[in-house]
Amino acid sequence: MEPMTVIPLNLYNAAMIRTDTAPSFRFCVAPMLDWTDRHERYFLRLLSRHARLYTEMVTTGALIHGDRQRFLCHDPVEQPVALQLGGCVSDELARCAAMAEEAGFNEVNLNVGCPSDRVQSGRFGACLMADPALVAAGVQAMCRATTLPVTVKTRIGIDEQDSDAFLQRFIEPVAEAGCRHFILHARCAWLKGLSPKENRDIPPLNRERVLRMKQRYPSLRFVINGGITTLDESGTLLESLDGVMLGREVYQNPWLLSAVDHVLFGEPDDSQRTRGDIIRAFLPHVRRELELGTPLQRMTRHILGLYRGVPGGRRFRRHLSENAHRPGAGIEVLEDALALTEPAVLCKEIA
């Protein structure tokens, strides 16, 4: 690899990055539409104290004209947690950034990575990579409206515009506008010809480009996203980058988070903790929400992968899948699922 030219950003002030929040960017759980709602985030926080969590993407229109309380609702237990916004109108982004701070989030993130047709029609998501000046204007307005870190999550290219030079032309004006933190999904986004699901897998990973961006702009913080499935892999990437972000792997195998604090943050080993301990810690949240009228299935759908690969895991998933959606389903459904699973787990451990 040829030596990279280090590009100083004249408006960059290292003091603007708060050292007290920096460590929490080492491991992040990606914002995932329909997945990272407040119940999922509460559950994930029981597994890791330090992993940085993100809301689902919320559009500026939904916040300004819709049910603001519903979109901003979160439990303080979830911290550190960031609000991800979708939008492109500077004034609207500024208003929503101020709402994020008032609601108690500790970061506001702009989505410049989603490739869906619906998102493109609203002119936000990955299509905004083609207009870095517009993104920069939005970032600048957000920075003026809040004291929170304003971050951007993006792809490394769009369609045929798949080069280091294209990504640099995006990063530089956005960084000058005030964004010091970029989350790079290490795949190009194809806005035509691929579905959002296909965009998660078909475009090849190019992690080397993300590494080159960190070398080129060492004063900026870069978190890498895309295809990371293990903590060993995460640790290797953290030798060169400021953070890693996992999405589907955490959702489908949440127990992965149980080792994050020890392996990546140097906390004492907590390996005596069990999956059953996590479920029991989740029960008070479930009870409170049931009393408020939240359907059980809205919460239990997030925990189906907790026993993945563990004896009894299929019984756990089957019992919840067959019973949690029933009208009037109560806490006993989750308690029974745990009872069906724990004997099998204990027998395996004794053996």
Q: Which of 114, 127, 179, 188 is catalytic?
A: 114
Q: Which residues contact 8 (CB under 8 A, 6 or more apart)?
A: 219
Active site annotation includes 143: no
- Quick check: bond before 80 cis, omega within 30? yes
Compute φ and ψ for 14, nearest 5 degrees. -60, -25
Q: Which residues contact 19 (CB under 8 A, 6 or more apart)?
A: none
> Among all residues, which ones are annotated catalytic?
114
